[in-house]
Structure 1
Amino acid sequence: MKLIRYGNVGEEKPGLEFEGKWYDMSHLVREYDEDFFAAGGLDKLKGEFDPKLAKEVDQNTRLGAPVHRPGKIICIGLNYRKHAEESGMDVPKEPVVFFKATSSIVGPNDAIEIPKNSKKTDWEVELAVVIGKRANYISEEEAMDYVAGYCLHNDVSEREFQIERGGQWVKGKSCDTFAPLGPYLVTKDEIKDPNNLNLWLTVNGKKVQDGNTNDFIFNVQHVISYLSQFMSLMPGDVISTGTPEGVGFGFKPPVYLKGGDVVELGIEGLGSSRQEVKNYEG
């Protein structure tokens, strides 16, 4: 299944894409949130959905992020070998873990706003994993049992805030609009192998990232198991698994986003998104 949330900001309703059409699911589901996943909502939705009984949704309607208010966005840094090389950093011996504020989440085609005083706003196409049930101290062999599905994520990053201002990376990752998510949450049964997916990103039509998750240092199963040793992974939590080479600060000289730029990105099987870049307006 491909889950969507559609409507104006703050007024999104749960929906579903089926055979190229969008359908409203608000007669069956209140929201795609922690309670939904924890209560086995995916199985219920699969069993009860009937396109003949559902209202079709105009595909010109805005899409919101496919998960409503996840408890956490957990990110893995430097998780592609070639990206670690372009960053001039050693290949990690254990996953590099940081958080991204959930207030940064926007819809897949909403604008990216360059923050006040930003000089180095950058892009990162990433595979995001959505957790389906609570996970604690699980093995890699068990990990996929805890996955609800996957979605596309642009882990927008302000490199000066992240790297040059001291402290943790989170402040360079958490500005408003820095987490366009979606268009869909694609359930895990539709993705044969999350560790072998093509992913790409363009800026103003020029392809700058063109990779595959087979370049992961730590694959999806390892990341889920690893994180579960340190914290409870809750239903609806989002794990963003890192970005391939081709980010702006890896260019020589570096290239960063500016007002008027257009970013487009996609992952095999998970759809694509488009964000226009605008300057902070106060």
Structure 2
Amino acid sequence: MPISDVSGRKVWQLRSRNQQLAHWAMWLAGVAVFMWCWQRISEATTWVFVWDAPRIAADMGSRAWPPRWSYMSELWAPLWDTLNIATLGTLLAIFAAVPVAFLAARNTTPSALFVRPVALFVIVSSRSINSLIWALLLVSIIGPGVLSGLLAIALRSIGFCAKLLYEAIEEIDPKQVEAVTATGASRWQVMAYGIVPQILPAFAGITVFRWDINLRESTVLGLVGAGGIGLQLKSSLDVLAWPQVALILIIILLAVLLSEWVSARVRGAII
């Protein structure tokens, strides 16, 4: 919108004529791309099923309610497996992520030319593959069960934890490191007394936050045979036992809410 002085002469304008044309051209291109994508989606969609979806959902809901509360006795062991997958997978990931993070941080890596790119490659590789894909691969390699789920969670978490941790390492106060170095401390003593105390709060927060995420992800790994309560969910879905499915979904929701509460309390205590 242009602004004019008392004589009506334009003295300021948000965009020049060319900038305004480019702005509208970008909007036009965005609308064209959206319409093209919507057309492709519409061609690949069977709209009869979409219009019938509310009736199907209502029918499934009526079959799933009330939940089969007696089935709860079958869920304690899978629920415990899910908790173990999330907890042990997080701990295993932390043990692997700490050295990777120190090798990836610019101020702690032994070689920015050779070692740091390898560490960054490990981080990117871990983060680029979803835990379900890791679980599918591991189930094919070592067979179905809790071990596959645990390793899938760990492999997925290494990149997440290492990335946040090496960023925390790069943001430390260098003056504390210089003070410890000035005392004649060795490289390991500088790391132990100058770097580690500064990143401990971030390290604890990352660990708890990732455990919270892993508990959510571990509830569905059983769908591909990686153990946990997701395996019971898949079994119930396969036989169309909707009251059991409803109970399992309620239990998963309660478990996620509990993990969120625990995570928030722990992070609040740390921060």
TM-score by length of 2: 0.21
Structure with the higher fraction of residues in helix conformation: 2
Larger radius of gyration: 2
Length-normalised TM-score, structure 1? 0.20
Greater strand share, structure number = 1
